[in-house]
Structure 1
Amino acid sequence: MRRKFVENVLSQANDSNKVKVNLELKEMIQRAYVEGRLWTTNWMAQRIPSLHGSALPPPTTSYASAIGATSSNGMQPSPQQPGKRKKNNQASKKPAQQKKSKGFTVDDDEDMRLKRAKRFEGGPSYSAYTNAAPASMPMKANKWINKGNINQPDPNVIDWDQYTIVGVSTSLEKQYLRLTSAPDPATIRPLPVLKKTLDHLKRKWRQDRDYNYICDQFKSLRQDLTVQRIKNDFTVQVYEIHARLALENGDLGEYNQCAANLQPLYQLNLNGNETEFISYQILYLCYSRNWSAANILTGLLSNEKKEVHEIQHALKVRSSLVTNNYHLFFKLYNESPNMSAYIIDAFIERERLKALIMITKAYIKIPLSFVAKELKLDSATAAKELLKLFGAVGCFDKTAVGVTHNGVPPDQDKVLLCKDVHSILLNQVSRYVKVDIKGQV
């Protein structure tokens, strides 16, 4: 509810009051934290002074109240009887160093007015009140409030960064459940238990190969790391293993969640396989066709990292896709290092369709065996099945010469009629207009 309240407040702010709204919002949360009612306050019933009118008592003294409201002649006396107004107006035209009335005294001397104004500059104001941390606020809590993480939180849990807890649970297995309240240390596993859990999950994966179960357990493990704010080499190891398992099982959404959390961990100079996952990220951006992000990532790479084999390979794949060099692309596909092929598998069918469209536009007739070789398919039969998937059935030259079986030539001897196939393939492009990027951050 607190997060929804913050979002509602920030959405109502505009350029003119945004800074003041932020200060008032921060002060309100600080006060609730110090008073121990962070989780008991009905946040949706709270009001921000800058948006809903001041909730603080007005200052007892101010420069405006001392000299009154300003009129066209520079000042306005206190209320008087109607009969005396004309007389007072006439008197105001006479030069004088000082004029008195029943309400107050105003000095004509500019220096005197400035001195009067300066008396209030050092006094308390609402702005100063909102900027100052409460006197009873612990230094650690104040540091967190002012420098809290405003980046995107871990998608598995609510943002619990204001807490640092140490779990006491000893269970090696725990079902993953999204947190809807403050984490209970009794259900959270400490770091030594989490290390045993990782070894246990690796054994379970080798024995059962049940990805749904293992994925659930890894998400639970990651959640325990997050709520305890554990960021070390072990954290990197957990996310890397889970990311590889997700790739192996075609779960690009879960892989992307792991990759998004690995990026800030690598920035902490923790031990891990950063170059390997940079190459995966480049290929993932090729899959999602996010060329602008791929260009930015490439520009951020140092020359040393660009010389690493797996990153070089990923950059060549990106270049082959941008230039429509399908011959180079499928060659690189066969040379994929580490687990790069698992990501390329996610969009290989799309690229084979593009290659077939270019091939059938360039040739009149072409042997099916040549198509299989260019697209790095296992056989001409596999090429025929691919054409069948795209709806290009029976588009073969019936006059082709070859050893026949019941009047039908074997697949390796079949010849594709490119003109007939080309129009059919063009109609299949719409299948790949949208990219499923579940889990994209």
Structure 2
Amino acid sequence: MSEWPSALENFVSHCFQRANIESFPPGKKKELQKQLTQIINLAILENKLNSNNWSKQKLPIFGEARELELEQKMGNVYPITVSSRRSDLMHQEAVQPSEPLVPSESQQKKKSRELRFKITKKSSVSPANKIQVACDLNCKLVGTNTSIEKDYYRLTSHPDPSMVRPLPILKKSLQHLYAKYQSLERFKALSKAEYSYFLNQLKSLRQDLTVQDIQNQFTVKVYEFNTQLAIQNEDFGELNQCLTQLAQLYTVSTMGHTYYYSDTGKYNQEHNCFLAKDLCEDRNHINMFKFTSYRILYFLLIDAPWELLKIRQDLFNRGQQYAIRHNKFLLKSFKLSDLITAMDYIHIKDEYSFLVNMDSDVCNLRTVFDDEHMTLNQDDWFFYKILYHKIFLREQLKALITISKSYRQISLYYLKNLLMDLVFLEKNKLSRFIENGEVFNCTSARSLLLQIEKKQLSKIDIKGQV
């Protein structure tokens, strides 16, 4: 990676030095960054990065020019140091700062961040290098930190190897988190403090994996663990991030063979894969279809049918037609999608009733160091049921709205068969519309139902934000 011209570095440093002395507000500093980026991009496009006279370059934000344009004429450039006697730099053409400056941050924030990440002057990033990406992508970082627990902080500079944990330590860290989770009441949502702790540690784990470019089975375990905790605590923003990353990790070629599914029992030499009915789970990604079904339910929950078409098409393109028809998780997820599209509320209720009453084996405990997925000792359908339940509640509401638009009143006996029980009415303050204990007044309840629908259906967006 080539370095910036020294004249350009002096120009950028001088601009930020001047902005600090003139006490630019944050908004004006952002505008300065924008103009610097634009003028440097312009120099690159015109191939004048080295030939431009940066010592005489002017910017509109300082009132020196009306528009952004390069200073074409080269002159003699002399390094100019900052004078302690002059506080006004309006007419000073260049400044060579003694230390690299960090743009758009106060000195107090800079010092606190240096303390947090233990940034030395040698490894700190100058403004010119910050505009460019100060990281060689061809050089992989290997961490040296040995801490089992480490708080998550958003990176604002080049990652320091002493603050990053290598893969063996990351495995111990995940085992440590897993043991802590096992000590809690695993069938209930975690408390706010507990979930905040786990999320902080998992995001730190994910960051260490990312900066070291580690994409293997262990990375899958981390994201699967994070996904399950996000489902259990209904953190849909985090759930969307983890499911999106898992979809990419499952297709990484370095993670082992990918097994394709069809109705034949042949071995395909060309693709080095089995085409057999009995391979219902990928040996390298034994939970791939389960977590794909979580992704399907998530898109059903946020009402994004176009994303479901992408998932189905992707499975077909990878030759997994047999899995779509026979894998228990995918089969039930796509069936629910079809029922919702058809607005078949009766069969949606039947499917949910079957799922609730279904007997499932509890997954066996496996260690974090084997080649299998790290399970959490819950029912095999535990996390699936959480997402399914939220979708069913929404479809209950849709069914009741459809009824309220079609009838003036309806028998509670029929309504109970449709909604399974009347707890739904009590939770949503709809029980006051029950008359004589036998009928539900649809006309009176219609306006409240529409208000509840508007509140619930606008709760989650495509990114899982509330």
TM-score normalized by the length of structure 2: 0.56
Residue 394 of structure 1 corresponds to 432
Residues 1:214 and 2:238 aligned together: no
Q: In structure 2, what is the Cα distance between the partners aligned to 1:430 and 1:173? A: 42
Distance 1:52 1:259, change over 3 A: same
Q: How does 1:228-377 map to 2 (within 5 A)?
A: 228-269=212-253, 270=255, 271-272=284-285, 273-302=287-316, 303-307=321-325, 308-336=327-355, 337-377=381-421
Question: Aligned-pair distance for 1:430?
Answer: 2.3
In structure 2, what residue type is equivalent to 1:295? L
Residue 46 of structure 1 corresponds to 40
SS in 2 for 1:172: coil
Say if 1:366 and 1:417, in contact at 8 Å, map to a contact too: yes
Question: Aligned-pair distance for 1:264?
Answer: 1.4
SS in 1 for 2:172: helix
Question: Aligned-pair distance for 1:242?
Answer: 1.0
Distance 1:55 1:294, change over 3 A: same
Question: Aligned-pair distance for 1:51?
Answer: 4.7
SS in 2 for 1:225: helix
Question: Aligned-pair distance for 1:268?
Answer: 1.7
Q: In structure 2, what is the Cα distance between the partners aligned to 1:234 and 1:355? A: 43
SS in 2 for 1:211: helix
Q: In structure 2, what is the Cα distance between the partners aligned to 1:172 and 1:369? A: 57
Q: In structure 2, what is the Cα distance between the partners aligned to 1:276 and 1:346? A: 18
Residue 2 of structure 2 corresponds to 31
Question: Aligned-pair distance for 1:52?
Answer: 5.5
Residue 128 of structure 1 corresponds to none
Q: In structure 1, what is the Cα distance between the partners aligned to 2:136 and 2:301? A: 33
Q: How does 1:33-182 map to 2 (within 5 A)?
A: 44=37, 46-49=40-43, 51=45, 54-55=48-49, 161=137, 163-182=139-158
Q: In structure 1, what is the Cα distance between the partners aligned to 2:144 and 2:198? A: 22
SS in 1 for 2:440: strand
Residue 426 of structure 2 corresponds to 385
Question: Aligned-pair distance for 1:248?
Answer: 0.9
SS in 1 for 2:147: coil
Say if 1:371 and 1:383, in contact at 8 Å, map to a contact too: no
SS in 2 for 1:366: strand
Distance 1:256 1:47, change over 3 A: closer
Aligned pairs, number:
291
Question: Aligned-pair distance for 1:335?
Answer: 4.0
Q: Which has the larger radius of gyration?
A: 1
- Provide structure 1 residue ranges, at least 5 long, that are not aligned to the other structure: 1-29, 59-157, 399-412
Distance 1:160 1:326, change over 3 A: farther
Residue 365 of structure 2 corresponds to none
Q: How does 1:412-423 map to 2 (within 5 A)?
A: 413-423=437-447
Q: In structure 2, what is the Cα distance between the partners aligned to 1:350 and 1:330? A: 12
- Provide structure 2 residue ranges, at least 5 long, that are not aligned to the other structure: 14-35, 53-133, 185-189, 256-283, 356-380
In structure 2, what residue type is equivalent to 1:353? L
Say if 1:165 and 1:227, in contact at 8 Å, map to a contact too: yes
SS in 2 for 1:217: helix
Deviations 1:13-37 (A, max 9, x none): xxxxxxxxxxxxxxxxx423999x9
Say if 2:5 and 2:49, in contact at 8 Å, map to a contact too: no
Residues 1:190 and 2:166 aligned together: yes
In structure 2, what residue type is equivalent to 1:243? T
Q: In structure 2, what is the Cα distance between the partners aligned to 1:211 and 1:56? A: 52
Distance 1:314 1:192, change over 3 A: same
Q: What RMSD in Å do the two structures reach over aligned CA positions?
A: 3.3
Q: In structure 1, what is the Cα distance between the partners aligned to 2:299 and 2:231? A: 15
Q: In structure 1, what is the Cα distance between the partners aligned to 2:416 and 2:139? A: 58
Deviations 1:130-184 (A, max 9, x none): xxxxxxxxxxxxxxxxxxxxxxxxxxxx998554111111110000111111111
Say if 1:253 and 1:438, in contact at 8 Å, map to a contact too: no
Question: Aligned-pair distance for 1:276?
Answer: 0.8
Deviations 1:379-412 (A, max 9, x none): x3x1430451xxx4532333xxxxxxxxxxxxxx
Q: In structure 1, what is the Cα distance between the partners aligned to 2:382 and 2:213? A: 30
SS in 2 for 1:339: helix
Q: In structure 2, what is the Cα distance between the partners aligned to 1:369 and 1:430? A: 27
Residues 1:436 and 2:454 aligned together: no
Deviations 1:239-278 (A, max 9, x none): 1111011111111111111111111111125322111111
Deviations 1:405-430 (A, max 9, x none): xxxxxxxx532123333344234432
Q: In structure 1, what is the Cα distance between the partners aligned to 2:41 and 2:239? A: 41
In structure 1, what residue type is equivalent to 2:342? T
